[in-house]
Amino acid sequence: MANVLTPQGEDFPRWYQDVVAKAQLAENGPAKGQQVIRPTGFALWERMVDEMDARIKETGTENASFPLLIPESYFRREADHVEGFAPELWTVTHAGGKELEEKLAVRPTSETIIGEYMAKWVKSYRDLPLLLNQWCNVMRYELRTRLFLRSSEFLWQEGHTVHESYEDAHEFTLRILHDVYADFMENVLALPVLRGIKTEAERFAGALNTFAVEALMRDGKALQMGTSHELGQNFARAFDIQFQGKDGQQAHGWTTSWGTSTRMVGGLIMGHGDDSGLRVPPRLAPVQAYVMVVKDSDEVQGAAKQVFDELKSSGLRVKLDHRADVAFGRRAVDAELKGYPVRIEIGPRDLKNGEATLVSRVKGVKETVPLGMLAEAVAAALEGDQQALFDEALERRERLTADAATVDEAVEAAQTGYARLPWDACGVEGEQKAAAAGVTVRVLQREDGSVPDSLDEPGLIAYLARSY
Amino acid sequence: MANVLTPQGEDFPRWYQDVVAKAQLAENGPAKGQQVIRPTGFALWERMVDEMDARIKETGTENASFPLLIPESYFRREADHVEGFAPELWTVTHAGGKELEEKLAVRPTSETIIGEYMAKWVKSYRDLPLLLNQWCNVMRYELRTRLFLRSSEFLWQEGHTVHESYEDAHEFTLRILHDVYADFMENVLALPVLRGIKTEAERFAGALNTFAVEALMRDGKALQMGTSHELGQNFARAFDIQFQGKDGQQAHGWTTSWGTSTRMVGGLIMGHGDDSGLRVPPRLAPVQAYVMVVKDSDEVQGAAKQVFDELKSSGLRVKLDHRADVAFGRRAVDAELKGYPVRIEIGPRDLKNGEATLVSRVKGVKETVPLGMLAEAVAAALEGDQQALFDEALERRERLTADAATVDEAVEAAQTGYARLPWDACGVEGEQKAAAAGVTVRVLQREDGSVPDSLDEPGLIAYLARSY
């Protein structure tokens, strides 16, 4: 089969553009940096939402919905926050043909407007913790945009919580990082992630500490997959979120916020995709098994329908391709492009032997399987491929991670992956020097790989990389 | 128990406001007509989305995501459409601190921007039907707003499809009306709906025909619950959606669009709620069974947890209220307000006899049930209450529907419910006269209650009512 994609080794960014277009994942919108997410791409996001939402609810967090438009004055209440976000705002000035008294910003994130309501709802320690999340769209003005990775509008979830104490808020921030974000990314997306704390330069505007999960893409660049912020009492003070404590005293709450977005679709593409297209991990895949007729005949169509029904009733997500009027080769290439984990080809030759051909997208293995054993064989292939994708990504990350002793060494090593550098040997100055060379500190970890409580801990290790 | 709500009979709009506030469903946002949907209200919407989304997907429709902001020039391409929507637009004029070259409207609906992309994607009859849907937020400037019912921003689904012929598009428009909208509303929301066609005055801006489902609220006013529009070739011409037909000729597609919104939450409240609060139909209910401890003791807490686990593992949506430090009466009133279909009270007295108290919200019946039979009893209560709510709403609608022979009679009858009036005895002039008296034609049906194909059919019956 002819290459429909630019090979990754030739031009990775071009490969990415090709996959997004050819697998019909997304297109540019009419206004700057906006995106149209097509059904194939959106189905990936829908599955992410399902899996993430279940994990978010497990923490006791409830979903809600806050307004799209935020009065500009809200931003000004938290000094760091307004400084960080003011340059990125999209602004509504008119409605119903008239100029508004106060300009409204399309939300770039909702700490401010949610803070305003939290202040009304939180009166007593009995109201805490208050755990909220919303799935919505946000907009940030961007000069250089790339579909899924950096767009003016994107879809995301943003969690916002209030707690009684620093300890409670800190613990919850890390619970989201580990039990929701990292768990979803490693066990469903099959992408190993580095968990750590961000430097001051990379911290969320208005936060005390930002924690993040970062995945390594196949070109050796890092992608921030999600962040969880400890906001201290900064927003509680700015929005007057106070409660009466068990001791009868009024106190400001401790808030957190945390988000993941359609950017994860970009991470999925670049973390697993190969020269034939996407490779979607089975646990995520909207279509786990793709049942195709090879040629047209009543017998083939009947058998394909039967296999489809059988796999569907075994609980798998299955799609039936009965379009015998479209060339088989074209449909097979399209199935590879879209990364369906398992393809089942039903043709007259196999059928004569009571068999079908099973093709694994991850391993590229073709095998003929007796029809009666298909459900089992598909389940085994899916299980194996989920693990194989994770193992491959982990092995790649380990191979592309190098120890460095100086900033210069780290910048050099970061050309192909992660550089591990003692934070003492880097520091804010080293960070600036690396940044000038296009390399940033992605996260800081403890020596043993665990997540530090703050930047003040001694002996931290910095992971530097080029990034998206 | 003291009334926490204004009684419906005293002041229905006030009752509505009270329920929305006291059951913590929603609040006004900071900017005009915006709303904050709180977790209890949002959970109702989430369940609606789940049920509706499954039905939408059953039709072969796929979800996608299109940009929030639409260039103003897009609206001008369809003359009726721009006339209908221009006065309602919220407009973004600046981004990143600079004035935009072209103003962008926050989408009030997405026929235009989706039409632009459909034109790119549709080349051949093989690409048809193209069936798309998106769940998103939209904004329309409104002068008089009411939470859930009429707000500047609301959440909705909007379906957009392209078909090969008038017949295909017509059939699909009605399939959505019947199999998705009416089916969901009657079988899940337990609200009987009138299905019919809208008059020219009530038609969607740019449509050939608008079909609708309407429910009657407990105050005798109608609420439009959903609309399905046959757009003919109007948008296909405006956006150049053309395809090569089986005959090799280029032709314009036939498009449809259809929507339902968070307004349905308002319909649920006013269609079933009573003086004690919401009554949520069991099939919709985010919490079907609410397990409460009456008093605190290890035995009571243990038994409540056991009942909770048992009901949950039987597949029900259950919530456990173990807050013995909040007065039982207050929690019971709150459970009634929020309309949980079944409440299970676990107290020391019942436990001594190996029993618990089961309270049905719909029928108001209290019964003691042996612990071992709770799961069965709850399932039976839920089943019965779903039907009881529907029957009650249907009986009410029949009671509040009167035949009228003249417009004057219809206006009079519409003060308390629906007036059925032959369309020949009404017509456009009669419609205007009724409108001046605050009464509108909600839908037209055939004599036998079925949905007409167009307004040209003879002998149609108009349903007039006051409405939200």
CA distances from A356 to A303, B29, B75 (A): 10, 58, 52
CB spacing of B117 vs A27 below 8 angstroms: yes
Count how many Cα atoms sit within 13 Å of the Cα of residue A14 in the half-sphere of its side chain.
8
A371: pLDDT strictly greater than 70: yes
What would the mean pLDDT of B104-117 be, rounded to a whole number?
A: 97
pLDDT tens sequence across A148-178: 999 999 999 999 999 999 999 999 999 999 9
Contact (CB, 8 A) for B169 and B425: no
Count Cβ atoms below 10 Å from residue B433 Cβ, excluding itself.
16
Testing the interface with A: which of B88, B92, B132, B136 to mutate, by most A Cβ within 10 A? B92
Structural tokens at position B399: 């009671």
The distance in angstroms from the start CA to the end CA of chain B is 31
What would the mean pLDDT of B434-459 be, rounded to a whole number?
A: 98
d(CA A377, CA A289): 11
Mark B102-135 as b/e (b = at least 16 C-beta within 10 Å): ebbbbbbbbbbbbbbbbbeebeebeebbbbbbbb
Of A62, A71, A93, Cβ closest to residue B91: A93
B65 vs A: CB within 8 A: yes
Q: Which of A121, A181, A179 is nearest to A156 (CA)?
A: A181
Q: Is B167 exposed, middle or buried (0-12, 13-18, 19+ CB in 10 A)?
A: exposed
A96 vs B: CB within 8 A: yes
CA distances from B467 to B63, B437, B463 (A): 31, 12, 11
A99 vs B: CB within 8 A: no
pLDDT tens sequence across A308-342: 999 999 999 999 999 998 999 999 999 999 999 99
pLDDT tens sequence across B392-404: 999 999 999 999 9
CA distances from B190 to A95, A159, B281, B362 (A): 37, 33, 6, 12
DSSP, collapsed to helix, strand or coil, labels residue A110 as: coil
CB spacing of A95 vs B116 below 8 angstroms: no
Residue B81: the pLDDT is 84
Residue A165: the pLDDT is 98
Contacts of A93 in chain B (CB under 8 A): 91-94
d(CA A60, CA A31): 38
Give the distance from residue A215's alpha carbon to the nearest chain B alpha carbon, in angstroms: 25
CA distances from B222 to B269, B401, B464 (A): 13, 11, 9
Of A31, A34, A42, Cβ closest to residue B63: A42
d(CA B119, CA B131): 13
Contacts of B94 in chain A (CB under 8 A): 90-91, 93
Of B64, B68, B126, Cβ closest to residue A42: B64
CB spacing of A117 vs B31 below 8 angstroms: no
A70 vs B: CB within 8 A: yes
133-192 of A, contacting B, C-beta below 8 A: 136-137, 139, 141, 143, 152-153, 155
- How many helical (H) and strand (E) elements, i.e. helices and strands, does chain A have? 15, 23
Provide the H-helix boundaries in A400-446: 407-413, 427-436
CB spacing of B39 vs A30 below 8 angstroms: no
Chain-wide mean pLDDT for chain A? 96
Residue A32: the pLDDT is 86
Chain-wide mean pLDDT for chain B? 96
d(CA B462, CA B197): 9
Residue B79: the pLDDT is 86
Q: Which of A225, A210, A195, A215 is nearest to A450 (CA)?
A: A195
d(CA B140, CA A97): 12
Contact (CB, 8 A) for B256 and B168: no
Q: Which of A468, A342, A333, A362 is nearest to A24 (CA)?
A: A333
Count Cβ atoms below 10 Å from residue B60 Cβ, excluding itself.
10
CB spacing of A36 vs B67 below 8 angstroms: yes
Testing the interface with B: which of A63, A90, A134, A151 to mutate, by most B Cβ within 10 A? A90
How would residue A390 be classed by pLDDT, with cut points 50, 70 and 90?
very high
289-318 of B, contacting A, C-beta below 8 A: none
Percent of chain B with pLDDT over 70: 100
Contact (CB, 8 A) for B273 and B19: yes
Testing the interface with B: which of A24, A65, A127, A139 to mutate, by most B Cβ within 10 A? A65
What would the mean pLDDT of B343-369 be, rounded to a whole number?
A: 95
Structural tokens at position A307: 């296999």
Of A39, A63, A155, Cβ closest to residue B62: A39
Residue B2: the pLDDT is 52
B54 vs A: CB within 8 A: no
Give the distance from residue A184's alpha carbon to the nearest chain B alpha carbon, in angstroms: 21
Of B91, B96, B116, Cβ closest to residue A88: B96
Structural tokens at position B400: 């509040």
B309: pLDDT strictly greater than 60: yes
A132 vs B: CB within 8 A: yes
Of A39, A86, A117, Cβ closest to residue B36: A117
How would residue A2 be classed by pLDDT, with cut points 50, 70 and 90?
low
Residue B334: the pLDDT is 97
Provide the H-helix boundaries in A23-124: 39-58, 72-75, 79-85, 111-121
Percent of chain A with pLDDT over 90: 96
Give the relative orientation of helices B263-272 and B39-58 as an angle to the nearest 10 degrees.
Answer: 110
Residue B80: the pLDDT is 87
- Chain B residue nearest residue A323, CA to CA: B126
Residue A1: the pLDDT is 47
Give the distance from residue A70's alpha carbon to the nearest chain B alpha carbon, in angstroms: 8
A32 vs B: CB within 8 A: yes
Contact (CB, 8 A) for A47 and A285: yes
Give the distance from residue A87's alpha carbon to the nearest chain B alpha carbon, in angstroms: 5
- DSSP for residue A401: E
What would the mean pLDDT of A22-30 be, rounded to a whole number?
A: 97
CB spacing of B95 vs A32 below 8 angstroms: yes
- DSSP for residue A216: E
What would the mean pLDDT of A85-102 be, rounded to a whole number?
A: 94
- Chain A residue nearest residue B29, CA to CA: A67
A29 vs B: CB within 8 A: yes
CB spacing of A68 vs B42 below 8 angstroms: no
pLDDT tens sequence across B407-443: 999 999 999 999 999 999 999 999 999 999 999 999 9
B255: pLDDT strictly greater than 50: yes
CB spacing of A95 vs B117 below 8 angstroms: no
Q: Which of B11, B110, B5, B47 is nearest to B265 (CA)?
A: B47
What would the mean pLDDT of A446-451 be, rounded to a whole number?
A: 98
Contact (CB, 8 A) for B200 and B291: no
Structural tokens at position A175: 């619970």
In order, the DSSP letters of B201-213 are: GGS-TT-SEEEEE
Contacts of B71 in chain A (CB under 8 A): 30-31
Backbone angles phi, psi at A289, to 5 degrees: -130, 130
Provide the H-helix boundaries in A166-319: 166-175, 183-187, 234-239, 263-272, 298-313
Residue B1: the pLDDT is 47
Contacts of A139 in chain B (CB under 8 A): 68-69
CB spacing of B89 vs A96 below 8 angstroms: yes
